[in-house]
């Protein structure tokens, strides 16, 4: 029986590319490219730092990634522009179905578990319409181990107070879903981009195009 529904934040609940408007406001015609590079470097940098064992909090990685994205796209990033774009990351848009789904599941334990540092993920959840439905927010920064390491998922499990089999973990990121499945969580991949399944020896329990499908786990 599923007792805890655990959601990744970036790309799962919140659209990381909603920062493109702020990027375009500052750098017309380059906002889309900057937002794409910003996200790809953000992922690359935390993976590399995990491998290097040179941990940095996610807010610092996000700032470093933004600086790289601007250099790659040939724009000058002032301190004021940097602050404005970092602030935009605290105001990401929810995906369309998220609020309704979480409201319908509010009788369950609903948890956000993110690689985002507390000073990023807590304000993001607090300013959003889903805040009333979220029981707790867990950051991998609490143990300085990023998902998809087993240590990160184990930290979340200890906070949840349930068994692995009683957790349904949801993410739009394949690496996150497969990390959670390898750890022993039940998993639902929110495949928003209609990607093919990974060629690895582990697969998610369920695959949905958005969060609406997870309701069948609680029926």
The set of catalytic residues is 8
| Six-digit token string for 158 | 């200890």
Task: Look at residues 115, 160, 104 and name the one whose alpha carbon lies nearest to residue 136.
Answer: 160
Strand partners, 5: 110, 168
For strands 4-7 and 167-171, give the pairing: parallel
Contact criterion met (CB below 8 Å) for 18 and 93: yes
Strand partners, 114: 139
| Six-digit token string for 31 | 């906002």
């Amino acid at each position: 029986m599923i007792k805890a529904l655990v959601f990744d934040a970036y790309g799962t609940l919140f659209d990381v590319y909603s920062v493109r408007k702020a990027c375009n406001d500052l750098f017309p015609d380059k906002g889309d490219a900057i937002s794409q590079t910003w996200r790809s470097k953000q992922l690359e940098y935390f993976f590399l730092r995990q491998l290097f064992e040179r941990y940095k909090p996610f807010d610092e990685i996000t700032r470093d990634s933004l600086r790289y994205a601007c250099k790659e796209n040939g724009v000058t990033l002032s301190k004021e522009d940097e602050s404005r774009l970092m602030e935009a990351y605290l105001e990401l848009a929810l995906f369309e179905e998220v609020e309704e789904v979480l409201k319908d599941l509010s009788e369950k334990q609903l948890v956000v578990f993110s690689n985002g540092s507390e000073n990023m993920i807590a304000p993001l959840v607090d300013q959003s319409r889903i805040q009333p439905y979220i029981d707790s927010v867990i950051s991998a920064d609490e143990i300085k181990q990023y998902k998809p390491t087993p240590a990160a998922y184990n930290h979340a499990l200890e906070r949840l107070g349930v068994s692995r089999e009683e957790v349904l973990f949801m993410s739009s990121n394949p690496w996150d879903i497969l990390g959670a499945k390898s750890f022993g969580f039940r998993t639902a991949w929110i495949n928003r981009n209609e990607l093919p399944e990974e060629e690895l020896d582990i697969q998610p329990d369920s695959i949905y195009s958005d969060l609406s499908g997870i309701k069948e786990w609680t029926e």
